[in-house]
Copies of this chain bind each other. A is one copy, B any other.
Amino acid sequence: MENFQYVNPTKLIFGRNQVNDSLAGEVEAYGTRVLLVYGGGSIKKNGLYELVLEQLNLISNVQIVELSGVEPNPRLSTVNKGIQLIKENQLDFILAVGGGSVIDCAKAISVGAHYDGDVWDFVTGKAAPSSSIPLGTILTMAATGSEMNGNSVITNWDERDKRAFSSIHTYPKFSILDPQNTFSIPADQTVYGIVDLMSHVLEQYFHVSENAPVQERFGESILKTTIETAPKLLESPESYAYREVIMLNATFALNNMLSMGVKTDWATHMIEHAVSAVHDIPHGGGLAILFPHWMELVSETKPERVAQLGIRVFELDPANKNTRELAYETIQKLKEFWKTIGAPTKLSDYGIDNKEIDLMVKRSIVNKTIGNYVPLGENEVRQILERAL
């Protein structure tokens, strides 16, 4: 392992009816002037919006200002709108109700409200957050893990650029996870969430550090449990039991535990961010298309970890097969699994052709190469994108 520091101060409040039981008390510990951030209005259809308002109104002298309409790939312009609302109304707490996009947007607002420059500076590394408005979340979709980490992914639509930053100051103070709040997620979004959480595990599983056997096994635990549960969930979308397993898995897939002491990869995510910055496709869909092609490319030179994944997670029998054969069999199994649950398999499923491939390659590569398991240059990224068309 590499030397590391691990700290995760977010309080997870997990289970049935936790919004009723915990929300008011948790918010009140931090403030009474609340920016309520949410997305396209699905929380108004399923009753969660009303419940949240009802609970917030239990707080004496509460003031609520709303920022609604946060986009699936949340935009810098929306972040700036939120910052303005905070400043104009002197708000002291942010409550994000939604999935990863809403939470990521709220995180950027939380540190942006304490910064005089442009929030995009945090993405480019020109500045680092030094404090924030406290943030709480009510999660409505199992996918990004944003509810228990400091990461935020923001899209600068003017520049067609989608990038991430991370800070200790953007960890939610609390996150309320009631699996019931994911019952009404449409099937395609449920699938994207499953692909996203599995991809998070894979990005960390393909690390380049020696001697991290328990981190690898923790990752395999999440993958195996997800593979067992996902098809059953898609058949019974209102099963509390299946929803809770996927919800907890998504959180632990990206709460930093899997990356303790290891140098992780993340190339596929960088390519996907480039694709969806240029074409605005769903993140989970992009990952399902790209990850198998990334795995194929790295298996040409480093098939070992891919083979290990196949043996331990897909229960491949290693008898009479070499490592490369096992790796390719693993990739087939992964593709098959994602196809079975209804994920897309090629970029043309979204109508993407090779016209803007140059821009996607350029946006993928921030410095000279991306990823660590096998560092990829422009040629390799182009290969992956071309195979994925």
Residues in A lying within 8 Å of B, measured CB to CB: 1-16, 18, 210-211, 213-214, 217-218, 220-222, 224-225, 228-229, 241, 244-245, 248-249, 252, 257, 260-261
A15 close to B211 (CB less than 8 A)? no
Q: With A14-B260, A213-B225 given, name 6 new contacts (CB 8 A).
A: A1-B244, A211-B244, A213-B228, A214-B249, A248-B260, A257-B257
Q: Are B2 and A6 in contact (CB under 8 A)?
A: no
**What is the minimal beta-carbon distance from A275 to any residue of chain B, in angstroms?**
30
Chain B residues within an 8 Å CB radius of A211: 241, 244-245
- Do B9 and A7 touch across chains, with their CB atoms under 8 A apart? yes
- Residues in B with CB closer than 8 Å to A9 are 7, 9
Contact A213 B15 (CB under 8 A): no
Contact B229 A15 (CB under 8 A): no
Assess whether B241 is in contact with A210, with CB atoms less than 8 Å apart. Answer: yes
What is the CA–CA distance of A19 and B225 in the complex, to the nearest angstrom? 38
Chain B min CB distance to A24 (Å): 15
Q: Which residues of B contact A4 (CB under 8 A)?
A: 12, 14-15
Q: Which of B16, B218, B228, B261 has a CB less than 8 Å from the CB of A218? A: B218
What are the residues of chain B within 8 A of A13 when measuring CB–CB? 5
6 pairs, CB–CB < 8 Å, chain A vs chain B: A1-B248, A6-B11, A6-B14, A211-B244, A217-B221, A221-B221
The answer to whether residues A12 and B7 also contact, given A210-B241, A213-B229 and a CB cut-off of 8 A, is yes
**A249 CB contacts on chain B under 8 angstroms:** 214
Most buried by B among A4, A6, A210, A214: A214
Determine the distance from Cα of A11 to Cα of B211 in the docked complex, in whole angstroms: 22
- Nearest CB in chain B: distance from A3 CB, A: 3
CA of A214 to CA of B13 in the docked complex: distance in angstroms?
A: 17
Cβ–Cβ contact B221 & A214, under 8 A:
yes
Cβ contacts under 8 Å, A261 to chain B:
14-15, 244, 248
Interface contact A214-B6, CB-CB below 8 Å: no
Q: Lowest 9 CB-CB distances: which A-B pairs, in order?
A: A3-B15, A217-B221, A7-B11, A6-B12, A214-B225, A213-B225, A211-B241, A9-B9, A5-B13
Is A5 a contact of B12 with CB atoms below 8 Å?
yes
Q: Which residues of B contact A12 (CB under 8 A)?
A: 4-7, 260
Contacts A5-B13, A9-B7; is A252 near B222 (CB within 8 Å)? no
Establish whether residues A3 and B7, one from each chain, have CB atoms under 8 Å apart when the complex forms: no
B residues in contact with A7, CB < 8 Å: 9-12
Contact of A14 among B3, B241, B252 (CB under 8 A): B3
A257 to B257, CA, bound (A): 11
Docked-complex contact A214 and B248, CB < 8 angstroms: yes
Nearest B residue to A18, CB-CB: B3
Please measure, in the bound complex, the distance between the C-alpha atom of A10 and the C-alpha atom of B9, giving whole angstroms: 8
Q: Which residues from B are CB-within-8-Å of A228?
A: 213
Given A210-B241, A213-B228, A228-B213, A5 and B1 touching (CB < 8 A)?
no
